[in-house]
Amino acid sequence: MSDRSDPDEQEFSVSLSQLLTTQSFGKPLHFFPTIDSTNTYAVKLAHQGASEGTTIIADEQTGGKGRLGRTWVSPPGVNLYLSLILRPPVSTGIAPQINLLAAVAVAEAIVQVCGLTPAIKWPNDVLIDEKKVCGILAEMQTEAGALQSLVLGIGVNVNAPLAAFPPELRDKASSLFLIGGQMINRAAFTAALLTHLEKLYVLWIEKGFPALRPAWEHYASGLISKQITVAAPEGTIVGTVLGLDSDGALLLRDSSGTPRRILAGDVTVIGGYTRGEKP
């Protein structure tokens, strides 16, 4: 823990500790008024042997890291910037499934605390009304090819006003407050998120990805049969979404009719993306 002077920040970290009913997630909790990146700090702690469940939360990030080398806009006092240290007994090939797990946990927390209708855009963006409200960045620490730890970084735009977003992001990103019209208690949201994360993580370790798949598909149902472009490491692919493979890979039929398995990339939905209703 660090020194704090702002009562809002103090309220956030103190009520979070009081609200937490998890076994190990959020314990211990390191809270910072400001930090460069909670992920960078968590990676340092993981290398020093920090236990599974150790959580770093900051009120503000000055160098928030996004996927694909982007930055994550992290203004003070309004959002959630969280990194969780995990030590799953899985290989480096399986570990990226944590991204899909985390997206489901965020969606469940949004439904529970805000009553909104989130959608997941593969692999792990959480959108509401086609605007991104959450980003997830998982970083693996390995030794001789074996997974030592996994830092799961989650940024949720909770109460950010429109002015907190740079103009170029305002048609692509939003916050739970802007969409739902109500300020959300950050501590209550974070406690719900850590609870869902822990529950899904235990399920994943015990039963593997197939146990998470129905929930992921529920939140990502709007993507099925959509035309998308994927900026993948192997190049840009245009195709129609067929579904999710048993290991979490995205299945597509590309524009030449060939089935493709996509393991990583950035998806853009042609014609917009809204999740369908629960069947």
Task: Convert residues 65-104 into a mask of x (bound to ligand BTN by CB under 6 A) and - (unbound).
Answer: xxx--x-x--------xxx---------------------
Residue among 37, 259, 44, 261 nearest 154 (CA): 37
Instruction: Considering only the stretches 11-19, 31-39, 188-196, 215-223, report the one whose residues sit in contact with ligand BTN under the rule CB under 6 A.
Output: 31-39
SS3 state of residue 257: coil
Q: Where are the alpha helices (DSSP H) in the chain?
A: 7-19, 38-47, 97-114, 176-180, 186-207, 213-219
Please spell the DSSP secondary structure of 221-250, one letter per residue.
Answer: GGGTT-EEEEEETTEEEEEEEEEE-TTSPE
SS3 state of residue 51: coil
To ligand BTN, the closest distance from the beta carbon of 258 in angstroms equals 29
In which region does residue 53 sit, left (phi positive, over 0), alpha (psi from -120 to 50) or beta (all else)? left
Strand-pair category, 80-86 with 55-58: antiparallel
Q: Contact between 265 and ligand BTN (CB under 6 A)?
A: no
Closer CB to ligand BTN, residue 38 or residue 195?
38
Binding residues for ligand BTN, total number by CB under 6 A: 19
Q: Contact between 174 and ligand BTN (CB under 6 A)?
A: no
Closer CB to ligand BTN, residue 169 or residue 242?
169
Instruction: Considering only the stretches 6-14, 149-157, 167-175, 212-220, report the one whose residues sit in contact with ligand BTN under the rule CB under 6 A.
Output: 149-157
Q: Contact between 157 and ligand BTN (CB under 6 A)?
A: no
Task: Convert residues 107-146 into a mask of x (bound to ligand BTN by CB under 6 A) and - (unbound).
Answer: ----------------------------xxx---------
For residue 36, what are the contacts with CB-CB under 8 A and spacing of at least 6?
Answer: 61, 62, 63
Q: Which of 16, 26, 37, 123 binds ligand BTN (CB under 6 A)?
A: 37
In which region does residue 28 sit, left (phi positive, over 0), alpha (psi from -120 to 50) or beta (all else)? beta
Q: Which of 26, 53, 118, 153 binds ligand BTN (CB under 6 A)?
A: 153
- For binding to ligand BTN (CB under 6 A), which residues are involved? 37-39, 61, 64-67, 70, 72, 81-83, 135-137, 153-155
